[in-house]
Structure 1
Amino acid sequence: MTHQAWTHHEAVINHVRLHYVQAGPEDGPLVVLLHGFPEFWYSWRHQLPALAAAGFRVVAPDLRGYNRSEKPPGVAAYRLRQLVADVRALIVHLGSPTAALVGHDWGGVIAWAAAMRHPEVVSRLAILNAPHPGAYRRELRRNPAQWRRSWYVLAVQLPVVPDALGRLLRVRIGALLRRSSVRPDAFTDEDVRAYIHALGQPGALTASLNYYRALLRFPGDMPLMPIPARTLVIWGAQDVALVPQLSEGLDRWVPHVQVERLPQASHWVQHDAPEVVSRLLIDFLT
C-alpha cells in the first residue's frame, strides 16, 4: 500500500527486520507512532500526513510480528523487554538522540514501558487508550468490570483458544472493528481489506497473540517507575476493553500528565476522531 505522503523502508533493528513508514521533513523533530493489536502501521493513516504537514518527521513501524516486519518464533521473542528494545534501537537507527513516542493499545503499553526504562530517549509521550501498568493493577484489584473486559488476555494463554480466536479474527475482523467503534465509517472496505492482508501474512496471527502470552509469562518486564517526560493521554470513553477509570489518577506515576477524554470515541480513538486526535497531538508536540 502506497501513498504520496509517506515512504516505505526496512532495516534490521535489534536483530529483527522491521518495516516502517516515514513522512515529513528529514530534519523535523522525530515522532514515532506505535500501533496496537490487531493493527499495523496503517493504524496511523490519518495522523501521518497531519503530523508531517505540521513539520514533524513521523515514523510508524510495523511492530515485530506484524504485517511486513519479521516474525521471530517463540513467545519469549515478544516479551516487553524486547519490544522496548526495538523502539530504542529504532530511534538510534533513525539518527536522533530522542523521539516523541505516541502509542495506541499495545503500542501504548510499549510506550509506557519505554518512557520508564529509557527516559533519556523519550522527549514526550502520548498515549491513546492504553492502560498505565499502575492504573491497570489498581483497577483489577478494585473493579470487577475490568476483569470481565480482560477475559481475552487470559483466554489466549490456553492451548486451543488462540487458534480459534485467530480464525475468528481473520474472518470477522471488519465486523469486529466496526462493532466496537463509534463511527459507522471509521473503517472503510479498503481499510478492512488492508487489515485482512496484514493479518494474513504467514505467522502474523501467532506473533500478535504471543504479545499477550509473554505479558503473563514475563511479568517482571513491566516496570513501575515515575515518568519524567511530559505526557498526553487521549482516552476514548466508549472503550469496550478498558474501563474509563484507567484514565484517572495517573499523576501518581506521571507528574506531568494531561488527560483528554473524548466521550464520543471508542477504543479506536484515532479512527473515530482522527481530526481531533491529530490536533491534540500537534498542539502537545509543538
Structure 2
Amino acid sequence: MQYLTTPEHCFEQITDFSYTPHFLQVDDNEGGLLKLHYVDEGPKDGDVVLMLHGEPSWSYLYRKMIGPVVAAGYRVITPDLIGFGKSDKPTERSDYTFQRHLDWVRQVIIQLDLKDITLVCQDWGGLLGLRLVAEHSDLFARVLAANTMLPTGDHSASEAFLNWQTFSQEVEVFPVAGIIKGATVSPLSPEVLAAYDAPFPDETYKAGVRQFPLLVPTTPDNPASQDNRLAWESLQQFKKPFITAFSDSDPVTAGGDKIMHKLIPGCEGQAHTTIEQGGHFLQEDKGEQLAEVLLTFMNANPL
C-alpha cells in the first residue's frame, strides 16, 4: 500500500495542542504497516477514556476536553484515524474501507491492552466506535455518543447528509478547515483553521477525507450494512451506561439520539442532554461543556 506521511513541520505552528505524540504500527492488510498517531495523557493506571474523531477532523478536535478529563484523574487516548491527523495517509481511495478502519481502531485497543473503556464518539467516531462496542462489549464500560449514528442504509439519509456527500465528491479542492468552520456555530480563529488544514499539505494527502463520505451506508446493499445490522442487535442488548449529548444545531445527525434512547437499554435513566449553541463539531463549539457532561456521567456511573 502506498501512503504519505505529513511532515512534522506542518504541525509546528499549532500552539494549543502540545501533547506528546505516540505512534503504533498497524497492519495495512496488504503485507505492510502503517503508522497511527495517538495522544495518551493522564495516569497509565487510570480509567480509560477513548475519544474517537470523525471526518475530516483529527485528535486536535478534542483539545478542549483532554485537559479537564485528565485533571479529573482519567487516562485519555485520542487516536488519529488512518488518513487523518498525524497518522499515515494511504494515497488510493480504494485503500479506505469501513472494515479496514474498524480493524485499525481495533488494533489501538488490542495493542494498548485497553479495558473498561469509556467511549466518547462523534461523527465517524460513532460509526466505528459503536461497531466496536457491539463486537467487544466486554471491553467497554460506558459510552457517550454525540452527533453520530450507526446507519444501515435501510432508512433514507438526511437531505443535509446527501448534500454533503455530493459536495465532497464534486468540490475541486477539498476545503478541510472550511468544512469544520461551516459545521460549527462559534467563530474559529485563523490559527484554529490552520490546525485543521495542517495534516493535508496538498490534495494528494486527502484520499481519505474524499472517500469517507462514500463509505457511510446510505443504501441497504452497502458493504457495511449487514454488519451494522448485526451490531444493532448487539447494541439492543447493551445494558451498561450509555448517554447521548447531541447538539441543537446539527441537521446531519438530528434525531439520532432519540433512536438510541429507544433501542439501547443502557440509555435508560441516564441524564441525556442537548448541547445548546453547538454545531456538528460540538467539541469545537462546546468542548468544555461536553467534558463536564462526560465527567458528571462517569461520576454517576462508577466502575
TM range, normalised to the smaller chain? Answer: 0.7 to 0.9
AA of the residue aligned to 1:282 = L
Any conservation in 2 of the 1:5–1:23 contact (CA below 8 Å)?
no
Contact 1:78–1:210 under 8 Å retained in 2: yes
CA deviations 1:27-81 (Å, max 9, x no partner) are 1111111111111110001011111111111111110111221223545543222
Is residue 169 from structure 1 mapped to residue 175 from structure 2 by the alignment?
yes
Q: Pick one of 165, 178, 183 that aligns with 1:180.
A: 183
What is the alpha-carbon root mean square deviation over aligned residues? 2.5
Other-structure match for 1:255: 265
Q: Which residue of the other structure, out of 224, 228, 240, is the alignment partner of 2:232?
A: 224
What TM-score results when the alignment is normalised by the length of structure 2? Answer: 0.79
Could you state the TM-score of these two structures normalised by the residue count of structure 1? Answer: 0.83
1:266 aligns with 2:279: yes
Q: Distance in 1 between matches of 2:116 and 2:98?
A: 20
Q: 1:190 to 1:100 in 2, by over 3 A?
A: same
CA distance in 1, matches of 2:15, 2:45: 23
Given that 1:13 and 1:86 are in contact with CA atoms closer than 8 Å, whether structure 2 keeps it comes out as yes
Question: CA separation in 2, counterparts of 1:67 and 1:167?
Answer: 18
Task: Decide whether the 8 Å contact of 1:66 with 1:198 is kept in 2.
Answer: yes
2:257 is matched by which residue type in structure 1? S
How far apart, in 1, do the equivalents of 2:286 and 2:110 lie? 32
In structure 1, distance between residues paired with 2:26 and 2:141: 20
| Offset of residue 112 of structure 1 | 1.4
> Shift of residue 5 of structure 1?
6.4
| Secondary structure in structure 2 of the residue aligned to 1:265 | coil
In the alignment, what sits opposite 1:8?
Answer: 21
Structure-2 residue corresponding to 1:192: 193
Deviations 1:12-33 (A, max 9, x none): 1344320111111111111111
| Identity value in percent | 23
Question: Which one is further off, 252-261 or 2-11?
Answer: 2-11
- How far has the Cα of 1:155 moved from its partner? 2.3
Normalized per residue, the structure richer in helix is 1
Q: Is the 8 A contact 1:36 1:104 kept in 2?
A: yes
Distance (whole Å) between structure 2 residues aligned to residue 67 and residue 236 of structure 1: 24
What is the rounded CA distance, in whole Å, between the counterparts of 2:78 and 2:110 in structure 1? 15
| Alignment length (residue pairs) | 268
Partner Cα separation in structure 2 for residue 29 and residue 201 of structure 1: 38
Rounded to whole Å, the distance in 2 between the matches of 1:41 and 1:201 is 20
Gap runs ≥5 in structure 2: 1-13, 29-33
Q: Is the 8 A contact 2:17 2:63 kept in 1?
A: no
Match of 1:46 in 2: 64
**SS of equivalent residue, structure 2 residue 133:** helix
Gaps of 5+ in 1: 141-145
Change (3 A) 1:152 1:114: farther
1:143 maps to what in 2?
Answer: none
Aligned to 2:210: 209
> 1:214 Cα deviation (Å)?
3.0
Matched residue of 1:275: which SS?
A: helix
Q: Tell me if the contact between 2:173 and 2:203 (Cα under 8 Å) persists in the aligned partners.
A: no
Which letter maps to 1:56? Answer: Y
Aligned counterpart, 1:239 = 250
3-state DSSP of counterpart to 2:87? coil
Q: How does 1:45-194 map to 2 (within 5 A)?
A: 45-75=63-93, 77-133=95-151, 137-138=154-155, 140=156, 147-152=158-163, 154-155=165-166, 162=169, 164-165=170-171, 167-170=173-176, 173-174=177-178, 176-184=179-187, 187-194=188-195
